[in-house]
Chain A
Amino acid sequence: GAGVSQSPRYKVAKRGQDVALRCDPISGHVSLFWYQQALGQGPEFLTYFQNEAQLDKSGLPSDRFFAERPEGSVSTLKIQRTQQEDSAVYLCASSFQGVGTGGVYGYTFGSGTRLTVV
């Protein structure tokens, strides 16, 4: 597609509910990243993939967070048993470069999913 597409745009979840957030990167982009952005803060790294391989998940805040990219294209971020502190905008970004190539030409971000846990 022309850009990074994320769905849903908004999600309201009751505390304890499981949610799944989808990211469809730019066609052909090798690397895919998930970030969490709380109000008034910069994006915080969660995890990234190169093709279908999850190379770094050091930013996932707990084992309730899980991400996958099984075919190296679309990715899903799943949050189990949501809690109020999970309320944030979840941003997906993609890059045509593979990681570790010695340079990163920046990422293209999707519009994000705003998650509100009530």
Chain B
Amino acid sequence: QKEVEQNSGPLSVPEGAIASLNCTYSDRGSQSFFWYRQYSGKSPELIMFIYSNGDKEDGRFTAQLNKASQYVSLLIRDSQPSDSATYLCAVNINNKLIFGTGTRLQVFP
């Protein structure tokens, strides 16, 4: 079992829809969780981090964490074509970020 798992996609959604990206992790002791966005040929950029169970909202983005289920998700409301990218889930395991393989999101007009 990989430490951080994501569906590789692609996830295709129409412009204006809600995109839902999911991630599971194996280490129950993990305390901090991150979502990065990576455009093709570019480096990852941090979108959000979350530490506590529940929801955390930042503009069109909402991160959700459920430690009991070892599950973290990212919702993108009012999706735009410019949101088309790979979204990487990362989990702090033993003082370093471990990344999933990423989910490719395609937002079509």
User: Which A residues have a C-beta under 8 Å from some C-beta of B?
Assistant: 33, 35, 40-45, 48, 55-56, 91, 99-100, 102-112
Size class of the contact patch on chain B = 20 to 34
Nearest 9 pairs between A and B by C-beta?
A: A42-B99, A99-B95, A109-B43, A106-B46, A42-B101, A43-B99, A104-B92, A42-B102, A109-B44
Known: A106-B49, A110-B43, A112-B43. A56 touches B88 (CB 8 A): no
- Which residues from chain B contact A56 at a C-beta distance below 8 Å? 94-96
Q: Would you give the shortest CB distance from B39 to chain A, in whole angstroms?
A: 12
Nearest neighbor of B93 in chain A, beta-carbon distance = A45
B97 close to A45 (CB less than 8 A): yes
- Which residues from chain A contact B45 at a C-beta distance below 8 Å? 109
The CA of A112 and the CA of B34, in the complex, are separated in Å by 20
A104 close to B101 (CB less than 8 A): no
The CA of A107 and the CA of B95, in the complex, are separated in Å by 12
12 more A-B contacts (CB under 8 A) besides A42-B100, A43-B99, A56-B95?
Answer: A33-B96, A35-B99, A42-B4, A42-B99, A44-B99, A48-B95, A91-B43, A102-B31, A103-B31, A104-B49, A108-B46, A112-B43
